[in-house]
Amino acid sequence: DVLEHVSYPDTILKEIKIKLKQNGVVISSIPNVRYHSAMYNFLFKKDWKYAKSGVMDYTHLRFFTSKSIKRMYMNAGYSIVHHKGINKTKSIKPYFLNILFLFTA
């Protein structure tokens, strides 16, 4: 829960990669802006409403989708080992949930 709070997350990922031991891993929890409640507010209420916590936390400087998270890590030289949604909802739309990513250098 850091990358969405910084201006240049790609730079941070590159710096971390340099410090990782061989076969080291990075585990990250990054909110997915395509989360169903955020998308509902944007598409149907025409509102980008910030909140005190969650996907639309007002302290977030950056917003990511599943694709943009993968692209950012790949561009920083990582390969994706595993990713999955971690939200506790019983929704049948797991793609829209927050994503837990595991990357390797």
Q: Say which DSSP state 92 is in.
A: S
- The residue extents of the domains of the chain are 3-104
Distance CA 49, CA 66 (A): 21
Q: For the residues 13-33, what does the mean pLDDT come to?
A: 90
pLDDT of the residue at 99: 46
Domain 3-104 has CATH 3.90.1150.10: no
pLDDT digits (tens, 9 = 90+) for 76-91: 999 988 887 766 555 5
pTM summary value: 0.73
Kindly indicate the confidence band of residue 97, based on its pLDDT and cuts at 50, 70 and 90. Answer: very low
pLDDT digits (tens, 9 = 90+) for 46-60: 888 888 888 888 888
